[in-house]
Amino acid sequence: SGAVVASPMSHEVASEGGVMGGSFYVGAAYSPAFPSVTSFDMRESSKETSYVRGYGKSIATIDVSVPANFSKSGYNFAFSKNLITSFDGAVGYSLGGARVELEASYRRFATLADGQYAKSGAESLAAITRDANITETNYFVVKIDEITNTSVMLNGCYDVLHTDLPVSPYVCAGIGASFVDISKQVTTKLAYRGKVGISYQFTPEISLVAGGFYHGLFDESYKDIPAHNSVKFSGEAKASVKAHIAD
């Protein structure tokens, strides 16, 4: 697993004259994140050993009912850089150099194709089998075309204020919840967040902020990923995933 650093540019608007001489503020940011889904491992739930097979690159149609279509052994999903669909918004209260804020963020990581496929979307399909050889009665299919992470964080911040300069360094630390969606299965995780940067005050009401952040999760397990197809064996057909998701 690896750290991810992004450089958000945000715009904050303050409303002076708040409670006890402080001020309320709102902020919005575009926060591109670099590769954030790593160490991705998938297997059948409650099974120690599973085999994951990818859809054949040369097959021109999508038919998950044909076992032979899953001809790629040892398949693993990969996910794109999060450079466009990456946004943050915050509302907060500041008093002197101290701030507290409620921040929401959204990240989307699309599944990447590991080469050229004859049929678009085939890279999002994987068969999980109970044996090394796939048959009609020992596999189920998982479809993952993206992973999304929606977070709500409570941050505490401190600004180093200068009365004669419009520039103020800041540092923030926060804790909250991330709602991770994998194949329509949403899992809630305890999350943490750190931010450092510089705020430039254009007017008493408007500031431009540039900085970096790290957002991570305390737990990397995701369970009950549903099957995409009708299975031909008894019992549940669900997958479990372990992945490092950070931005």
Residue 1 lies in a domain: no
In a domain? residue 2: no
For the chain, the residue count is 247
**Residue 147, both tokens:** 């992973």
Q: Look-up: residue for tokens 């950070």?
A: 246
Helix (H, G, I), strand (E, B) or coil at 3: coil
pLDDT at 16: 52
* pLDDT of 211: 85
Which tokens hold the place of 8?
């958000």
Name the pTM for this structure: 0.83
Per the domain annotation, does 221 fall within a domain?
Answer: yes
Tokens, residue 209: 């902020």
| Rounded Cα–Cα distance for residues 157 and 134 (Å) | 54
- Provide the token pair at 54: 């990818």
pLDDT digits (tens, 9 = 90+) for 118-148: 999 999 999 999 999 999 999 999 999 999 9
The total number of structural domains that make up the chain: 1
DSSP-derived pairing of the beta strands 86-95 and 37-44: unpaired
Provide the phi-psi class of 183: left if phi over 0, else alpha when psi is between -120 and 50, else beta.
left
Secondary structure in 3-state letters for 35-78? CCEEEEEEEECCCCCCEEEECCCCCCCCCCCCHHHCCEECCCCE
219-222 contacts at long range (C-beta below 8 A, 24 or more positions apart): 219/189, 219/190, 220/1, 220/39, 220/244, 220/245, 222/180, 222/182, 222/185, 222/187
Residue 205 lies in a domain: yes
pLDDT value for 210: 84
- In a domain, residue 136? The reply is yes
CATH number at residue 180: 2.40.160.20
Q: Is residue 14 part of a domain?
A: yes
- 178 in any annotated domain: yes
Give the pLDDT confidence score for residue 48 in this predicted structure.
Answer: 81
pLDDT at 85: 66
Residue 20 falls inside a structural domain = yes
Tokens representing 142? 């998982």
Domain that holds residue 166: 9-245
Per-residue model confidence as pLDDT tens digits over 55-80: 999 999 999 999 999 999 999 999 98
> Which residues in the chain land under pLDDT 50?
1-9, 11, 17-18
How far from 186 is each of 43, 104, 141, 183, CA to CA, in Å?
A: 18, 17, 18, 8
